[in-house]
Amino acid sequence: GQNIDQPTEMTATEGAIVQINCTYQTSGFNGLFWYQQHAGEAPTFLSYNVLDGLEEKGRFSSFLSRSKGYSYLLLKELQMKDSASYLCAAPIYNQGGKLIFGQGTELSVKP
């Protein structure tokens, strides 16, 4: 079966670093996505990892370990606008790009 787990909520301070973890179980592997979703808005693409290791993109980095079924999203120099839900998602192998999502991690950034 397919399953994605991530913490429900996290709180961090402006200017700090936060790591949002995601563990997944999928039949076959086709990469791992992270999306950001502000309240009442569309999810927007942040990152896609298909190989092990860390990929950095400005203040946001994403890490993948395929052997452990584990990923994390690292947010540096947190800003108030980073308060949002962060969704971990995996494509279902051989099913046309269909994604299954975790429940999302609601991040609150406080001054």
Partner 1 sequence: DTGVSQDPRHKITKRGQNVTFRCDPISEHNRLYWYRQTLGQGPEFLTYFQNEAQLEKSRLLSNRFSAERPKGSFSTLEIQRTEQGDSAMYLCASSPGANVLTFGAGSRLTVL
Binding segment toward partner 1, per CB under 8 A, in 32-40, 50-58, 64-72, 75-83: 32-40
CB of 15 to partner 1, least distance (A): 27
**Local structure of 82: helix, strand or coil:** helix
Binding segment toward partner 1, per CB under 8 A, in 10-18, 64-72, 75-83, 96-104: 96-104
Binding segment toward partner 1, per CB under 8 A, in 11-19, 49-57, 69-77, 90-98: 90-98
For residue 52, state whether it binds partner 1 (rule: CB under 8 A): no
Cα–Cα separations (whole angstroms), residue 99 to 3, 51, 64, 66, 109: 11, 18, 17, 17, 28
Which of 28, 36, 32 is CA-nearest to residue 75?
A: 36
| Surface-to-core class of residue 7, CB atoms within 10 Å of its CB (0-12 exposed, 13-18 middle, 19+ buried) | middle
Contacting residues toward partner 1, per CB under 8 A = 4, 8, 30, 33, 35, 40-45, 48, 87, 89, 91, 95-104, 106
